[in-house]
Amino acid sequence: MRAARGIHHLAPQPLHQRRPHRNGRGHDDRYSQAGLLHRPEAASAVELSPHLPVPRAELVSVGSTYAVQGLGYAVIATSLPTIQARQSLDATMVALLLLGVSLAAAGGSVLADAIAIRRNSKAALLSGLAAQAVGFFMMATAQPAPIYIGAVLLYGVGLGAVDASSAMQGVLVQRGRPRPLLGRFFAAYTLAAIVGAFLMVALVETPAGAGAVLAIVGVVDVLVIVAGWRLLDTGHAARKPGHARDATRIPRWPVFVIGALILAAFVADSAVSTWSSIYLSGTLHTAAWAAPLGYAAYQIVVLISRLGVDYLVRRTARTVIATSAIVFGGIGFVVIALVPTEAGAIIGFALTGVIAGALVPLSFGAAGDVLPSRSDEIIARVNLFNYAGAILGTVIVGVVADQTGFGIAFLIPLVILVLVLPATRALRKPKAIPLEAPQPG
């Protein structure tokens, strides 16, 4: 049965195919009529985009924010050796710097939430991109270590703000289209990350070096800001500023459950991103050129999964897709642990790409459905689980690998995936997501 049939006041026709209705104040009230707000008073809190259907230029603008985010993240990740050498940082300082970026990103997500409430997600997204651009330009020039570290942390704040607000924008524009979009938006992120990695490889040994690549990304950030100033969605999907007492309460249970899926996805993602090449080169003693193949195979499957997930969502339930992704990804971690060969590792890492490829867009899409009138705030809160997962995947796998080897260490993401498997039920359409945690007895 189609999930839309369980929504009050709707005929069997899916919600995204219904013509929008305008209420007396000129706002789109299709969500209040559909019962998606869960409480009648929530309808007054939502101001959805007037663009129905969403213009193609707006879709391109939103997609470009995902792309520049992936481009910048890949450039930062691949420039770490250069940063370490230029600033004379030891391994401990690099680890602390990465931890600082994750914490700064969490703060950026909170900041995006505050800006989205006061203004809208467009303002939050442009602010985050501006912070990133300044950080990139500062890092592109030789700076004393304290200033350089400050620039990296400023980038971290922008990273979190853009992570959260780009997802807010993606959910808003998806509401104005008859087909899902989030998978393709995240695919733009992944494709741009691949481009960023190759860009760094091509230029890092030239006289211009990594600084030129960082400056290029800063310029791209500015171009995306200029385009977004005109084209990004201006919808306000958060409580009215100064009306906290009157606003519909955000249900905590679905935020926690969907957040658990995001956490698991990023535990897996950070484990593969951080340790796959080290495992291949240090434990399996592969050739230097072969060490990155595990991560490359992983990213290819992430990209394919994200390109295909929108198509699958139109034909099957999100819960089925997410469960399948966890199963296939879990098999990948088993292969890595039990088949300690170069081929086994590369195949295993490739299979794990389905997890982040599918779970991330599905989870953010479900977060946007929990309470459409306040989806900006919900997405910002769910996004915080991203950084918790990234830290856990990097730290726990590394610590366990030091004690037992990578075979057992790569089973840790599998355990977490098994634990969150029941949470895939939260990816059903809104009526299936409980407002409160089940009460015992």
For 185-221, what is each residue's pLDDT tens digit? Answer: 999 999 999 898 888 878 877 777 888 999 999 999 9
Tell which residue, 86, 54, 56, has the closest CA to residue 151: 86
Q: Which residues contact 184 (CB under 8 A, 6 or more apart)?
A: 63, 306, 307, 310
| Six token digits for residue 314 | 């139109």
The whole-number pLDDT of residue 286 equals 87
Block mean pLDDT (10 aa), the chain, length 441: 38 41 41 37 41 75 96 86 80 82 94 93 96 96 86 96 94 83 94 89 79 94 95 77 63 93 96 89 84 89 96 93 97 96 96 96 92 90 94 89 90 96 84 45 42
Q: What is the DSSP letter of 45?
A: G
The whole-number pLDDT of residue 429 equals 65
The whole-number pLDDT of residue 56 equals 84
The whole-number pLDDT of residue 26 equals 40
Write down how long the chain is. 441
The whole-number pLDDT of residue 7 equals 35
Alpha helices in 14-90 (DSSP H): 30-34, 56-78, 80-87
The whole-number pLDDT of residue 53 equals 61
pLDDT, tens digit (0-9, with 9 covering 90-100), for 335-347:
999 999 999 999 9
* Beta bridge partner(s), residue 47: 236
Name the pTM for this structure: 0.78
pLDDT, tens digit (0-9, with 9 covering 90-100), for 104-155:
999 999 999 999 999 899 999 999 999 999 999 999 987 788 899 999 999 9
Q: What proportions of the chain, in percent to the nearest 5, are helix, strand and coil? A: 75, 0, 25
The whole-number pLDDT of residue 14 equals 43
The whole-number pLDDT of residue 441 equals 42
Task: State how far the Cα of 410 lies from the Cα of 283, in Å rounded to an integer.
Answer: 13
Domains assigned to the chain: 43-247 (1.20.1250.20), 249-428 (1.20.1250.20)
Give the C-alpha distances (Å, rounded to integers) separating 110 from 128, 160, 163, 174.
11, 8, 11, 23
Give the type of residue at 177. R
The Cβ-side half-sphere exposure at 407, using a 13 Å CA radius, reads 9
Task: State how far the Cα of 104 lies from the Cα of 158, in Å rounded to an integer.
Answer: 8
Give the type of residue at 278. I
Give the type of residue at 86. R
| Six token digits for residue 395 | 């730290």
Q: Longest Cα pair distance anywhere in the chain, in angstroms?
A: 69
The whole-number pLDDT of residue 135 equals 96
The whole-number pLDDT of residue 245 equals 52
